[in-house]
Structures are given as C-alpha cells and as structure tokens.
C-alpha cells in the first residue's frame, strides 16, 4: 500500500515538475535572448568608431525619443487590439453567431494578407498622418491572432464544466466571467503576445506617416549606407519586442487559474 502511495506521489511530482518547466521555459529563454542582444548592442556602441554621419543618426536624444514613440505606439495599438478583439471573440462564440464568426475571421485574414506597408499607407490616405493613424493601422493588422485565440480558448472549455455552472444556478454572464474566461485566459494571452510582437515590428514603419519610432534610425542607416546605425536601430526594436513578449509571458503565467 505504501509503495503504491509513493508511486502516485512520485508521478504527481513528475507531472508538476514538467508543467513548471513548460510554463517557465519562455520566461528563461526570452530574457536570456534580450540580455545577449543588449550586451552585443552595447559592445558595438562602445567599440565601433562612428563617423560624423553615424553620430548624427545615433544621437542619444533622438534615439530616446524614437524609443518612447516605439513603445507608445506598440502599447496603445496592443491595448486597442485587446479592447476590440476579446469582446468580439466573446460575441461570436455565443449561440446564433457562427456565420458572424466565420465572416470576421475571413475578413481579418484577408486584412493580414495586405502588406504592412500598404495597410499603413491606406490608413494614411483615409485618416491622415500621425500617431493615431499608426495605432489604428497597427491594431487592425494584429486583430486576427487575438480574435482567433479568444474564439479557440472559449470553445475549448469543457462543456461539462459549463453545465455544472448552470446546475449551480449561474447566469450566462456569471458562467462567462467565472468559468469560461478564466479557463480561456492562457490561450487568449498567447494571442495577445503574438499581436504585441507584430505591433512592435510594424511600429518601425510608423515613421512613414509621421508617427516616429525607431524606423527613422533604420531608414537613415539604409539610405546613407551605415550598417552600424541599421544594427543599433534593429537591435532596439528587437529589445522592445522581447520586453513585450516577456511581459506577456508573465501575464500568461500569473493569470492562469491554478490547476490548469
């Protein structure tokens, strides 16, 4: 009897350890990549001789301004994506809306087929230049991953758990808030992480419509053939993307209900 109990305890410990490893792997890999990239960027900055043109491109005050713009554009566009896509995903998973779900996924899929440059230009023609236009364009491009993951996350909730909620006298809203959304959180946040990284990358094109961002440095480096400036600009964009992804990984871990 004691042997059987010990075996069960060992199996449970092994499963818990494997779950912990899987849940924390990206919390180790992503920050490590960010640290390696940061060290490499600092090394290049410190030990590369800049000519006068490269110095102008990499002027610290200009880089700081562009970094703030890059983070601001990425943050607000991701927040807009979540504010729109999650409620839409909830709406189309309710009874009577399967056709709406298919139509939305199809339309947004076609939207993602449009090149990022073309989408930004289209919104520029429609709304004019500026940060607001860039945020809306970025959010439109990144809606699909969050919408799709919200739909998948809600649809994968075990129907028996929902029926148990009904048996306990929960209303539809209570079941959504206390059962469906908590169980769907890991999948939804995974979609948000994808959208955030997409937004960071696309925000590098926001300079085309006067919204600033680190694309200014990369573009100047390309035009003036300054590889060091290109590398520093690209490295900073990658660091912002890794920072957003790490924040998403933390949210995915700590918002996950216990036992899931």
User: What's the pLDDT at 109?
Assistant: 65
User: What's the pLDDT at 151?
Assistant: 86
Q: Which long-range contacts (CB under 8 A, 24 or more apart) does 107-115 make?
A: 108/143, 108/144, 108/147, 109/144, 111/140, 111/141, 111/143, 111/144, 112/141, 112/144, 114/141
User: What's the pLDDT at 111?
Assistant: 62
Q: Could you tell me the two tokens for 2?
A: 């004691």
User: What's the pLDDT at 104?
Assistant: 66
User: What's the pLDDT at 98?
Assistant: 61
User: What's the pLDDT at 16?
Assistant: 46
User: What's the pLDDT at 235?
Assistant: 93
3-state secondary structure the chain: CHHHHHHHHHHHHHHHHHHHHHHHHHHHHHHHHHHHHHHHHHHHHHHCCCCHHHHHHCCHHHHHHHHHHHHHHHHHHHHHHHHHHHHHHHHHCCCCCHHHHHHHHHHHHHHHHCCHHHHHHHHHHHHCCCHHHHHHHHHHHHHHHHHHHHHHHHHCCCHHHHHHHHHCCCCHHHHHHHHHHHHHHHHHHHHHHHHHHHHHHHHCCHHHHCCCCCHHHHHHHHHCCCHHHHHHHHHHHHHHHHHHHHHHHHHHHHCCCCCC
- Which domains does the chain show, CATH number per domain? 12-254 (1.10.3720.10)
Low-confidence residues in the chain, pLDDT < 70: 1-23, 95-114, 257-260
User: What's the pLDDT at 116?
Assistant: 72
């Amino acid at each position: 009897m004691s042997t059987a109990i010990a075996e069960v305890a060992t199996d449970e410990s092994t499963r818990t350890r494997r779950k912990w490893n899987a849940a924390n792997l990206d919390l180790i890999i992503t920050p490590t990549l960010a640290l390696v990239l940061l060290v490499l960027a600092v090394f290049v900055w410190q030990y590369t001789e800049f000519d006068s043109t490269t110095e102008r491109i990499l002027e610290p005050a200009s880089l700081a301004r562009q970094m703030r713009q890059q983070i601001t554009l990425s943050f607000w566009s991701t927040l807009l994506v979540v504010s729109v896509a999650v409620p839409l995903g909830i709406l189309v998973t309710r009874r009577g809306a399967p056709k709406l779900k298919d139509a939305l996924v199809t339309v947004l899929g076609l939207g993602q087929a449009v090149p990022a440059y073309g989408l930004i230009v289209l919104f520029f023609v429609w709304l004019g230049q500026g940060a607001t236009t860039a945020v809306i364009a970025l959010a439109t491009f990144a809606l699909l991953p969050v919408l799709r993951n919200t739909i998948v996350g809600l649809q994968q909730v075990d129907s028996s758990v929902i029926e148990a909620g009904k048996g306990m006298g929960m209303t539809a809203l209570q079941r959504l808030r206390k059962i469906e959304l908590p169980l769907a959180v890991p999948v939804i946040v995974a979609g948000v992480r994808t959208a955030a990284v997409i937004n960071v990358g696309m925000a590098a094109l926001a300079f085309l419509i006067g919204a600033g961002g680190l694309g200014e440095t990369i573009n100047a480096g390309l035009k003036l053939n300054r590889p060091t400036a290109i590398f520093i600009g690209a490295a900073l964009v990658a660091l912002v993307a890794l920072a957003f992804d790490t924040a998403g990984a933390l949210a995915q871990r700590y918002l996950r209900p216990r036992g899931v």
